[in-house]
């Protein structure tokens, strides 16, 4: 089973949520792997604090170049959208190769494969394709991560509308508490839930320690078993 973790924008907590879910599943004895095929803003001098490094730590692995190559083959230095970051380096993302990589990893996975996207849902990957096109081509269930910052209602409801327009299976919405909040986390969850139809909306506090045992993460994991 493969699932795709995407966000309403950049820095909303995709890696925080994905890593917490990986740790929770591992602690429960479940087979799980994670990949973040595309990453921008990657500093090879500090791999352990990069998004791939955080995912590898959750998997119980070291952030060696071999392991980072295994989960994040398309890495770019500039903290920009992947299309622009790639251009800066005279490179590009081969969309078909990206899909083939994800499908191969999903086929090889012994249990659950978590695919983490890059940036927000509509971030460009190349001249024509976005993260949304990537998800649409894979056709796997989507976990949408949002923040609790001012403006999140419009961003989150727009993202839900766009995903529904592609007939994608929205597994759940996780509101990862932002450092600077507009409404409270509880108010944010309740408001989004009013417009999310039957999609479950889960609030996850911004914790300083390991969030894998948080009840919200346990609830996210429970929802996995409802997927077809």
Task: Give catalytic residue positions.
Answer: 36
Residue 173 in 3-state DSSP?
A: strand
Three-state secondary structure call for residue 128:
coil
Dump strand ranges (E) for the chain. 2-7, 32-35, 38-39, 74-75, 112-116, 142-147, 170-176, 201-204
Residue 60 buriedness (CB in 10 A; 0-12 / 13-18 / 19+):
exposed
CA angle 15, 178, 112 (to 5 degrees): 25
73-100 burial: b if 16+ Cβ within 10 Å, else e: bbbbeeebbbbebbbeeeeebeeeebee
């Amino acid at each position: 089973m493969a699932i795709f973790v995407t966000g309403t924008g950049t820095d909303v907590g995709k890696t925080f949520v994905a890593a917490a879910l990986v740790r929770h599943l591992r602690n429960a004895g479940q087979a799980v792997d994670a990949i973040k095929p595309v990453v921008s803003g990657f500093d090879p001098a500090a791999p352990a604090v990069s998004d791939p490094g955080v995912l590898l730590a959750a998997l119980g692995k070291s952030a060696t170049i071999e392991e980072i190559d295994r989960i994040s083959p398309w890495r770019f230095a500039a903290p920009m959208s992947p299309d622009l970051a790639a251009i800066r380096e005279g490179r590009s993302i081969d969309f078909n190769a990206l899909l083939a990589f994800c499908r191969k990893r999903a086929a090889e996975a012994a249990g659950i494969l978590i695919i983490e996207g890059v940036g927000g849902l509509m971030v460009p990957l190349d001249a024509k394709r976005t993260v949304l096109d990537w998800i649409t081509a894979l056709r796997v269930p989507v976990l949408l991560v949002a923040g609790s910052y001012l403006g999140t209602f419009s961003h989150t409801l727009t993202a839900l509308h766009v995903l529904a327009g592609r007939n994608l299976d929205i597994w759940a919405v996780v509101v990862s508490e932002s450092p600077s909040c507009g409404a409270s986390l509880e108010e944010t969850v309740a408001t989004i839930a009013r417009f999310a139809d039957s999609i479950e909306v889960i609030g996850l506090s911004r914790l300083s320690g390991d969030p894998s045992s948080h009840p919200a993460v346990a609830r996210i994991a429970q929802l996995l078993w409802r997927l077809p």
